[in-house]
Structure 1
Amino acid sequence: MSMHTRPQPPENQEQLLLRAQRISGSSLGELACLAKWTVPPDLKKDKGWVGLLLEYYLGARAGSKAEQDFADIGVELKTIPVDVKGQPLETTFVCYAPLTRNTGIIWENSHLRKKLAKVLWVPIEGERQIPLTQRRVGTPFFWSPNLDEDKALQQDWEELMERIIMGQINHISAHHGEVLQLRPKAKNSRILTAATGETGQPIMTLPRGFYLKKTFTAAILARYFLL
């Protein structure tokens, strides 16, 4: 393999999958070396590093995450760290939750549903004892929510959004929701955003993100790999 230059965005979903299959089996160290990227000592401060490296190889347009990673072809990229048994090691961040100007949003046109319409999942070895450079990229696959999954996501989303609109943002814990959870998503506790309080008054709070629970992503992986 010679030095790698960032490819143009993929023209279609087949081309994207082909690119992901091409780097499947490579270690993060090899990929970083070819791209002349520095590997961080760990992911504590660089949580998004693996995703960015893959975006580089797959030709994602860097930039605002308000749309899908590959908006032109309708695909969202999700890397997922797994253990030796293929079980996800953490929840999967999908998008930020709208804490203001959110009346009238319905599931059908929600940002979350758009993001999850079609996902390219790329499992990555994630066991702590494997040095970051030696962790390998797994087999990529496409997924779209089936009817049951869509219904489960909708149920949780509607319940969580209702609580947000009712001013109960600070009473929502990671335990709410069967497949989705809402939790703070900010680099530090000084980053605050506007929301609605219990009596409808404006308050400042930490930004919140929607995350897919591990049981949900484990079932997706199990179905694909027939675990």
Structure 2
Amino acid sequence: MHSSSPPSSPPASLNELMSRANALSGLSLGDLADAANIVTPQNFRTQKGWTGQLIELWLGASAGSKPEQDFPELGVELKTLPLSYTNLPLETTYVCYAPLTHNTGVTWQNSNVRNKLQKVLWLPVQGEREIPPAQRLIGSPILWQPSIEEETLLRTDWEELMDMISLGQVERIDATVGSVLQLRPKAANGSALTEAIGEDGQAIQTRPRGFYLRKNFTQGILQSAF
């Protein structure tokens, strides 16, 4: 049982963040939830972001869902990574919403995707469906920064996707576009709509989109770390 309670302040340094993250390794989500007096859901069908929020609490993250990083003082984004029994990522990783209008002057350098992925603390968590959430164990943290090769792959995909958005082709973007980054509908429900640019430059209504890292990309991060 994890005896302490969640920290009351954000970590003051990268070292402090990593020692907090390392302290979670080997514990179950139920351990952490119990120690924080939080009820662990029976499944994650309705509470998709629950694991990330629980871990944010134990690491002292401050940003919440604001567009900055989870640890803005340290420039670090937190991502939980659900793994299979064979330690492969089970799903793509959400990065941020994709801006569908007003993209003049947005470049890779000042994009939200690059900002979010400059430095990421990955926390692997058991993710197989038949393991009850309370029993899922947390793995060893990985502090990652994209290599030149990784950044080039991300940038190439981002520029292709943003070009299509700007050219009014958002409805044509499917899961095949992008080798490491993909654009997918991102909304709490299918009826949420937002403005985008249509094929003839007119305003259209479409589902909000988000940028996601493909599993092959996060698998590469895991492999180079371990």
TM-score in terms of structure 1 length: 0.97
Q: Secondary structure at the match of 2:122?
A: strand
Q: Deviations over 1:94-139 (max 9, x none)?
A: 0011101111111111110010000000000011121111000000
Kindly state the Cα deviation for residue 65 of structure 1 after the two structures are TM-superposed: 2.7
Kindly state the Cα deviation for residue 62 of structure 1 after the two structures are TM-superposed: 4.8
Kindly state the Cα deviation for residue 3 of structure 1 after the two structures are TM-superposed: 5.2
CA contact (8 A) 1:7 1:58 kept: no
Q: Secondary structure at the match of 2:164?
A: helix
* Structure 2: distance between partners of 1:220 and 1:134: 25
Q: Deviations over 1:12-60 (max 9, x none)?
A: 1111010000011000011100000111121111110000000000000
Identical pairs, percent: 53
Where does 1:1-227 land on structure 2 (aligned, <5 Å)?
1-2=2-3, 4-225=5-226
Match of 1:9, as an amino acid?
Answer: P
CA contact (8 A) 1:7 1:57 kept: no
CA contact (8 A) 1:29 1:134 kept: yes
* Structure 1: distance between partners of 2:60 and 2:6: 10
Match of 2:31, as an amino acid?
Answer: E
CA contact (8 A) 1:27 1:134 kept: yes
* Structure 2: distance between partners of 1:145 and 1:47: 26
* Structure 2: distance between partners of 1:208 and 1:5: 33
* Structure 2: distance between partners of 1:70 and 1:158: 26
Q: Secondary structure at the match of 2:218?
A: helix
Kindly state the Cα deviation for residue 143 of structure 1 after the two structures are TM-superposed: 0.4
Match of 2:25, as an amino acid?
Answer: S
Q: Give the number of equivalent residue pairs.
A: 225
Q: Secondary structure at the match of 2:95?
A: strand
Q: Deviations over 1:118-169 (max 9, x none)?
A: 0000000011121111000000010000010000000000000000000000
* Structure 2: distance between partners of 1:2 and 1:19: 14
Q: Secondary structure at the match of 2:109?
A: helix
Match of 1:109, as an amino acid?
Answer: N
Match of 2:144, as an amino acid?
Answer: W
TM-score in terms of structure 2 length: 0.97
* Structure 2: distance between partners of 1:65 and 1:95: 10
Q: Deviations over 1:47-89 (max 9, x none)?
A: 1000000000000015333010001110000000001221000
C-alpha RMSD of matched pairs (Å): 1.0
Q: Which blocks of at least 5 consecutive residues in structure 1 are unaligned?
A: none
Q: Secondary structure at the match of 1:128?
A: coil
Runs of 4+ in 1 over 2 A off after TM superposition: 62-65
* Structure 2: distance between partners of 1:96 and 1:105: 14
Kindly state the Cα deviation for residue 189 of structure 1 after the two structures are TM-superposed: 1.4
